[in-house]
A = this chain, B = another copy of it.
Amino acid sequence: MAKKVLIKDIATVVGVSTALVSYVMNGREKEKRVGKEVVEKIRKAAKDLNYQPNQIARSLRTGSTNTIGLVVADISNPFFSHLARIIEDEANKYQYAVIIGSSDERNQKSQALVETLLNRQVDGLILVPSEGDDVLVKSLIDRDIPLVLIDRNFENISCNFVMLNNYKATFDATMSLIDNGYRKITMVAYRSSLEHMKSRINGYLSAMGSVGYTVSVKLVEPHVSELLHPMDEIILNSDTEAVLFATNTLSIAGLYAVSRNHLKVPEQLAIVGFDKSEVYDFFVPPVTYIEQPLAEMGQKAVQNLMECINGNNGLMQNSLDSQFVERLSNKKLL
């Protein structure tokens, strides 16, 4: 292994102290009034020797690693992988790297991941909390750790977050189904105490309530890899004219069930999906869906986290509006 070039090597070559080299490497030569020729010599030597600063040593000294930790439910889920990509790009703009972990919606795992990340001295965290992570989030706030929740929050914890206006999203979607003449509308959601899920359900309930229709919420257990049976039951319920799904995974599982059971959409069953998916484009007919503003969410989360890392203690909470992308799966044919 080629010997690592140290700041000391440059100092020796140029014939100055390591302090000056450090100043120049960090662009503080003006502030520290380092002599012009010295600056040039140091720059040249650094380049010639291909000096690469050891960030670990720097981090230990400065107390900041220029690294953020990102905990999502599952990086292989397209919703989270797209979000991760946006967060990566935005963080890079601030010279930050991203360490990613998947919690699998298990609070034990997210807790363990967060501890690992903190031991690695990440400067801040962007967290998609799992059920039961309120304890973790409280403890992070108590410890003054820069934190932004994304996609989800806890109603009774005052914490930075960036998330969808979930209530409005499903309220509007339900209303569109109602406007299109559907009465027997079922909402399919995960059984969860998490706010975002409850808000999505509440949006549906309010819309149904506003016109006095009977509500029907079907709750699917999370962590069940086999969604086939419950989904078939839900889809085949003769008392359902339209289904609104609460997440992308549920939507796609639902579409598999519809397809498996050869139901005609929207004649036999109208459908509104959640999140964007290529599957919605290929389904016959194209599926109407609730699209989240991923780019804005990811960018805002990073920006808020940076504020937080830089000492802004104000509460930053952003609720973003979804876009209702209307196609043919929710339209009663005349």
Which residues of A are at the interface with B, using a C-beta cutoff of 8 A? Answer: 1-2, 52-57, 59-60, 65, 67, 74-76, 78, 81-82, 84-85, 88-89, 97-102, 115-121, 142-145, 252, 255-256, 259, 277-279, 281-284
Contact = CB atoms under 8 A, between A and B. Distances in A.
Contact of A60 (B52, B56, B101): B56
A57 B281 CA distance: 51
Given A101-B88, A278-B279, A282-B259, A56 B52 contact: no
Contacts of A74: 85
Given A75-B85, A76-B81, 11 more contacts: A55-B121, A75-B75, A76-B85, A78-B78, A88-B100, A98-B100, A100-B100, A256-B281, A259-B282, A278-B278, A282-B282
B85 A102 contact: yes
17 contacts: A1-B143, A1-B144, A1-B145, A52-B119, A54-B119, A55-B119, A56-B59, A56-B65, A56-B121, A75-B75, A75-B81, A84-B100, A97-B120, A99-B99, A100-B100, A252-B278, A256-B281
Given A56-B120, A120-B67, A282-B279, A84 B76 contact: yes
Contacts of A116: 97
Contacts of A1: 143-145
Contacts of A282: 255, 259, 279, 282-283
Contacts of A88: 75, 100-102
Contacts of A121: 54-56
The 4 closest A-B CB pairs, nearest first, are A81-B81, A76-B85, A1-B144, A55-B119
Contacts of A259: 281-282
Contacts of A284: 284
Nearest to A92: B101
A91 B179 CA distance: 51
Contacts of A256: 281
Nearest to A284: B284
A271 to B, nearest CB: 13
B279 A119 contact: no
Nearest to A116: B97
